[in-house]
Copies of this chain bind each other. A is one copy, B any other.
Amino acid sequence: MWETGVTQILRKWREQGHTRLDCAKIVSTRTSRGGLDQWRWTVPTSANRSVSVKDVAAAAGVSLGTVSNVLNKPDRVSEATRQRVLAAMTDLGFVRNESARQLRSGVSRTLAYLMLDASNPFFTDVAAGIETEAETHGLTVVLCNSGSRGAREQAHLELFEQQRVQGLLVTPVDPDSPTLDAVARRGTPVVIVDRTRDDDSLCSVAVDDVLGGRIGIEHLLDRGHRRVAFIGGPADLGQVRDRLEGARSAWSDAGLDPEDLLTLRTEDLRVADGREAGQRLVGLPASRRPTAAFCVNDLIALGLLQQITQAGLRTPDDLAILGYDDIDYAAAAAVPLSSVRQPRQQLGRTAADLAMTEAAGGPHTHRRVLFTPELVARASTLG
């Protein structure tokens, strides 16, 4: 059986154009240890010196300039030589060197998005919007993930800047970080995504979080709730602060006692934090327990829903739950989750658009775009 495998592989490699097959040493071993199986094959390593236009020119028997023309101005080259050059390229495995092109042209054809947390579906949706918009302009998008770690963010920012990306979209750990200004000042268009600054020293695209908090509370008031918990954290996160601010102002506008708008802090914004908050909520005496919870994002809302369901409470009868973001998992929860929707894809598309506009040059006008969130009412608050 191994014999057969080896023969097949040899044939395949030959088809792939490997020329040094005869001296290839083929060894197969199968080991199994620690729940890990491995097969090993030695393979003919290809000559690693990279093939340049010069090599192609020599092989095709033309000058270097002709090869360049085949790539960039094909109509200036006769069909016969063009074919000859193309054949030489595939023969030699020629690959254009992007560094050299970029060095020469001065601009790259990529847009970068530095995500705060790639494991949060909110940000991957934003990224999808960026990709959509960039694609229509012929740009490719590269993604990096800071994982909320300042040092990694810094490293990625530096690399992107050195790579001279056309535009640098970023959801920063700290939107007020002077690093961002420095990058922008040196000439890379920077767009802050899903965060804002108080001044408008950079382009930014975000959603009006104060309004979102207000909308959420107004919905719960409409549904007759007069004792509500606002659940979220960390307290110093802009989104959390703004949404709470909006919630509080809607609450007091309705002439209600601030005491009845409970605030439950969480460590972070993950499902586990919602479960933990659920435990605290369930522990409250029924007389003091809120009739509704407004969660600062959907992950927390999902965790909360799971926890109280497990504890035997029913949603929305015992506790109505309102989330924030309207990620795909929200509509699909055991009790479909009401949520304050953010236009995620459009956030991304707009951010990409701003970056490309700024990159296009001309007198630039920093712009702060604020989208309006929208309530999506489902069973978890409607009953």
Contacts and interface: CB of A to CB of B under 8 A. Distances in A.
A226 to B, nearest CB: 28
A46 to B, nearest CB: 5
A97 interface: yes
Nearest to A159: B140
Given A9-B200, A332-B302, A162 B97 contact: yes
Contacts of A136: none
Nearest to A302: B332
A353 to B, nearest CB: 13
B124 A128 contact: no
A305 interface: yes
Contact of A200 (B41, B96, B163, B374): B41
A17 B370 contact: no
A143 B145 contact: yes
A-side interface mostly: mixed
A271 B329 contact: yes
A238 interface: no
Contact of A309 (B40, B119, B163, B334): B334
Given A5-B199, A9-B201, 19 more contacts: A8-B199, A16-B201, A37-B208, A37-B369, A42-B364, A45-B363, A46-B185, A50-B164, A93-B182, A97-B162, A100-B103, A119-B121, A119-B328, A131-B147, A140-B155, A143-B143, A143-B145, A271-B328, A271-B332
28 contacts: A12-B201, A16-B182, A35-B371, A37-B369, A37-B370, A40-B366, A40-B367, A43-B201, A43-B364, A43-B365, A45-B361, A46-B187, A93-B185, A98-B163, A98-B164, A99-B108, A110-B159, A119-B328, A127-B145, A128-B147, A140-B155, A140-B156, A140-B159, A142-B144, A272-B332, A310-B334, A329-B329, A334-B334
